[in-house]
């Protein structure tokens, strides 16, 4: 099939690469000329395991191409996927200006039947607003061209997106058209060989399913962090509690690990948008608001514990392991590390930081600062540091050289935001070890 994708960010690039790998002919369009030039040179602007190799293969086979030419993209695809960003507005709503701009562009150039699909995470009602803008642009030209609009939300985890796309739990399609159903079965046939993964439903339900999924996952994280904070105050061990509740099949073990809060491009933005459009529909959603309130508070606990353990951080140097919001990505959007560094700098501390993938991203975000040193290894981060804070559970942080730490950390204080180590072992080794929800 010929497929056009608008937006070469995380969702658009992964979607385009995986569809091309399956045999479709994909043209990815973006208004960012520099990004398209980089992609045409084989440079991947994001870190996602396995993505670079797939893009290289598909570009070589000419099944995947990149362009800034919007009319060419409209002309190319029978399926037109909108995968542009939907950032948060000041009031929490999803900003749909990029989605609507693509819809207008499609209507301005469309000359034969196509299916316009919203792949971006968008609030309920967006498909109808896309339909309206395509129709308006067609009417301006005096053109009568048949088209359909459908919802096909993505469910990709950063760091595991290739597997998620190639081996999906489900493929949600919102449509009221049998013609669209047939085309989507053809599009996703390579990903449904084992058993049918496609789930067809009405468009509003498909749009809400994406928000409901992210809302549920974020709720589990915030709930477990609440339990961890209670455990700290009553002398319980949240790790034992986690195993106790996880053994119940109605709850399960997924997403019940306490920590220093969630981040990334999805959960924070989508929770705010869900609360906003619930209010627009006339419903007050206190649980949704509370999930985000708990998460923002949880991000601040790293600094609170560190400051208490050191008796203040002014003039201190703090080592940070992990800058990305999760392992296997370089994404620092809403990452706990960013909240921590802001608090440290405000209090007069300096930071020595290391992350296996997010160093370039951190340098772009903060530039040159006297109070930030980005170093080449986890060991280098410890040099001259008073204390260590762990923000991301990268695999290379899991095996700890306690002798090295003892020789490097001036105050032997470790604040572990991801509960990587055994508290008893760490304290027997002479460290002040502060984690999340475990006895001190």
Question: Which residues are catalytic, by number?
Answer: 266
Which of 408, 415, 234, 391 has its CA nearest to residue 307?
415
Q: Which residues on neighbouring strands pair with residue 5, listed in sequence order?
A: 28, 81
Residue 221: strand, helix, or coil = helix
- Please check whether residue 29 is in contact with residue 65, taking contact to mean a CB–CB distance below 8 angstroms: no
Residue 185: strand, helix, or coil = helix
Helical ranges in 27-156 per DSSP H: 33-40, 51-60, 70-76, 97-109, 126-141
If 0-12 CB within 10 Å is exposed, 13-18 middle and 19+ buried, where does residue 426 land?
A: buried
- Distance between CA 15 and CA 88 in Å, rounded? 22
Name the pairing type of β-strands 413-416 and 147-151: unpaired
User: Residues near 223 by Cβ (< 8 Å), separated by ≥ 6?
Assistant: none
Q: Which residues of 260-287 are buried (b: 16+ CB within 10 A; e: fewer)?
A: bbbbbbbbbbbbbbbbbbbbeeeeebee
- Distance between CA 173 and CA 171 in Å, rounded? 7
- Please check whether residue 372 is in contact with residue 340, taking contact to mean a CB–CB distance below 8 angstroms: no
- Please check whether residue 102 is in contact with residue 82, taking contact to mean a CB–CB distance below 8 angstroms: yes
- Distance between CA 381 and CA 274 in Å, rounded? 39
Q: Taking the CB of residue 166, how many other CB atoms lie within 10 A of it?
A: 14
- Distance between CA 432 and CA 397 in Å, rounded? 18
């Amino acid at each position: 099939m010929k497929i056009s994708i608008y937006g070469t960010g995380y969702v658009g690039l992964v979607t385009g690469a995986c569809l091309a790998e399956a045999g479709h002919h994909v043209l990815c369009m973006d208004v960012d000329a520099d990004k398209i030039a980089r992609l045409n040179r084989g440079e991947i602007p994001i870190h996602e395991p396995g993505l670079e190799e797939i893009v290289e293969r598909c570009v070589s086979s000419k099944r995947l191409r990149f362009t800034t030419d919007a009319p060419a993209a409209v002309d190319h695809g029978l399926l037109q996927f909108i995968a542009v960003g939907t950032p948060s507005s000041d009031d929490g709503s999803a900003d749909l200006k990029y989605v609507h701009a693509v819809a207008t562009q499609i209507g301005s150039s469309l000359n034969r039947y196509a299916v316009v699909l919203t792949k971006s995470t968008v609030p309920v009602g967006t498909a109808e607003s896309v339909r309206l803008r395509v129709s308006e642009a067609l009417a301006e030209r005096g053109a009568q061209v048949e088209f359909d609009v459908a919802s096909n939300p993505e469910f990709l985890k950063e760091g595991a997106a290739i597997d998620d796309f190639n081996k999906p739990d489900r493929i949600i399609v919102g449509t009221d058209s049998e013609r669209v159903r047939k085309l989507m079965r053809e599009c996703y046939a390579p990903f449904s060989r084992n058993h049918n993964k496609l789930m067809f439903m009405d468009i509003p339900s498909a749009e809400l399913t994406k928000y409901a999924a992210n809302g549920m996952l974020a709720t589990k994280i915030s709930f477990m962090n609440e339990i961890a904070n209670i455990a700290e105050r009553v002398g319980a061990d949240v790790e034992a509690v986690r195993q106790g509740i996880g053994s119940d099949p109605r709850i399960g073990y997924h997403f019940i690990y306490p920590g220093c809060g969630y981040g990334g491009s999805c959960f924070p933005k989508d929770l705010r948008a869900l609360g906003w459009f619930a209010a627009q529909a006339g419903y007050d959603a206190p649980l949704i608001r509370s999930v985000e309130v708990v998460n923002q508070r949880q991000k601040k606990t790293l600094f609170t514990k560190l400051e208490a353990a050191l008796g203040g951080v002014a003039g201190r140097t703090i080592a940070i392991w992990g800058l990305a919001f999760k392992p296997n990505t370089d994404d620092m959007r809403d990452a706990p590390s960013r909240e921590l560094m802001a608090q440290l700098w405000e209090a007069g501390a300096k930071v020595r930081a290391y992350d296996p993938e997010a160093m370039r991203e951190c340098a772009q975000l903060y530039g040159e600062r006297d109070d930030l040193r980005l170093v080449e290894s986890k060991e280098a981060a410890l040099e001259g540091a008073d204390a260590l804070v762990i923000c991301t559970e990268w695999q290379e942080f899991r095996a700890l050289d306690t002798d090295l730490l003892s020789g490097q950390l001036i105050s032997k204080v470790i604040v572990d935001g991801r509960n990587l180590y055994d508290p008893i072992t760490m304290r027997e080794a002479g460290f002040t070890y502060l984690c999340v929800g475990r006895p001190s």
